[in-house]
């Protein structure tokens, strides 16, 4: 009996995780690539190198790769004022793009794993939902 309950619970768990399917990292990166084409590329460029002094780079960007939560907050709420990226100062405005938490997670996974960027982290919508605005205020 115990084992039946256990099997039941396990299969319920497996089934619900299937139902409330969270994307795999690969799927998230793919979706993020589309978001990137749509919302980010005009400034940060398809190569992710940005424009020196105007739009910060995402490729090999210390700011992005070392401050995951701050980067999420920047995308989620918008970012303005002085930041230092790879020893260069940027003092611009990135407006809030109106992306939902899942879209923010997807585009984060894309930029964290494109142009030679690599990370073991996997950003989830749940993680994005918990990032407070105070980080970028």
Judged by beta carbon, residue 27 or residue 38, the one nearer other proteins is 38
State the Cα–Cα distance between residues 128 and 100, nearest whole angstrom.
Answer: 9
Min dist CB 19 to other proteins, Å, is 23
Q: What mask, x for binding other proteins by CB under 8 A, covers residues 16 to 55? A: ----------------------xx-xx--xx----x--x-
Q: Are 107 and 98 a contacting pair, CB within 8 Å?
A: no
Q: Which residues pair with 82 in a beta bridge?
A: 91
Closer Cβ to other proteins, 16 or 34, answer by number: 34
- Complete DSSP assignment for 69-128: HHHHHHHHH-EEEEEEETTEEEEEEE------HHHHHHHHHHHTSSTT---S----HHHH
Q: In the window 66-105, what residues touch other proteins (CB under 8 A)?
A: 78, 80, 91-93, 95-99
CB within 8 Å of 36: residues ≥ 6 apart: 107, 110, 111, 114
In the bound state with other proteins, the residue whose beta carbon lies nearer, of 19 and 93, is 93
* Cβ distance to other proteins smaller for residue 16 or 52: 52
Binding site for other proteins (CB under 8 A): 38-39, 41-42, 45-46, 51, 54, 78, 80, 91-93, 95-99
């Amino acid at each position: 009996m115990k084992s039946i309950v256990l099997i039941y619970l396990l299969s319920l768990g497996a089934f619900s995780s299937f139902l409330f399917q969270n994307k795999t990292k690969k799927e998230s990166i793919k979706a993020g690539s589309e978001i990137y084409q749509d919302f980010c590329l005009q400034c940060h460029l398809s190569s992710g190198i940005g424009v020196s002094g105007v739009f910060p780079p995402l490729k090999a960007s210390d700011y992005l790769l070392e401050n995951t939560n701050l980067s999420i907050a920047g995308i989620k709420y918008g970012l303005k004022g002085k930041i230092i990226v790879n020893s260069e100062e940027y003092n611009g405005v990135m407006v809030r793009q109106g992306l939902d938490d899942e879209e923010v997670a997807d585009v984060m996974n894309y930029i964290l794993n494109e142009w030679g960027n690599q990370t073991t982290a996997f950003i989830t919508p749940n993680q994005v939902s918990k990032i407070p605005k105070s980080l970028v205020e």
